[in-house]
Amino acid sequence: MFITGILLGANGSPHLGTPWQLLAYRGGTLFGAALESARECAFDQLVVTLGSSSQAVHERIDLDGVRVVESPHSDTGRSSIVPALDAVDRRADGIVVLLGDQPGITSAAVWSLVAEVATPIGVCRYDDGESYPCWFGRELFGELRTLRSDADLWDSVHEGTHPITRVDAIGNVPARVTTWPEYHQLLSGTPVPADLPLDTHPLPVAPMTRHRRRTAP
């Protein structure tokens, strides 16, 4: 099979007040870590979506070898998956969708999903619920083009219109970062109060590093 991975990085961060993509994480950036995890999956093609923070991401994160799709209106809730589909290789049997703010997704989870999926849709089933990565076969691309937002992707799962393969994944759903408490929890591995004082927020932006880039055609 020819597999295209789509790493979603275009959404904004209204609850953070700063681009989540550039939050400091493990010596680099949050989005950079998710991108490296996606690279480890060795997809036949890797597509990355970027939004209003695209320029800063280009300046600070190595995007070598990936196809970048600009989706500047995703901050207003519009789907970045829809334009990404135009960049998917015509040979692709399907796409694996990953979140750029969920760096804990592993290549093992991705390839277990790909190996076991036998239906148009596949999702990972963790100990505490279902989450990404998700699989969507080429036969659903037309339907995906009608998405209004990236979150609407899950409507296809919950509506039960199509057969779904649920593949067991190890542990709990990998942490996401949409709020400061979630960011601190990701860093510390332990829950933090939801009313975390503003002055405890760390400097969010990783150090500036410029890269020479060669984006995929």
User: What tens digit of pLDDT does each residue of 83-129 get?
Assistant: 999 999 999 999 999 999 999 999 999 999 999 999 999 999 999 99
Query: Which two tokens mark 14?
Result: 């209204």
Quickly count helices (H) and strands (E) in the chain.
7, 9
Asked if residue 200 has pLDDT above 60, the reply is no
Report d(CA 85, CA 141) in Å as an integer: 7
Whole-angstrom CA distances from 180 to 17, 57, 192, 209 are: 10, 20, 9, 24
pTM for the complete prediction? 0.88
Q: Which domains does the chain have, with CATH numbers?
A: 3-172 (3.90.550.10)
User: Which value, to the nearest 10 degrees, does the dihedral of the CA atoms of residues 37, 149, 168, 40 take?
Assistant: -10
pLDDT in tens, 8-33: 999 888 888 889 999 999 999 999 99
For 196, phi and psi rounded to 5 degrees?
Answer: -55, 125
Looking at the chain, the whole-number percentage of residues with pLDDT higher than 90 is 72
Query: What is the residue type of 83?
Result: P
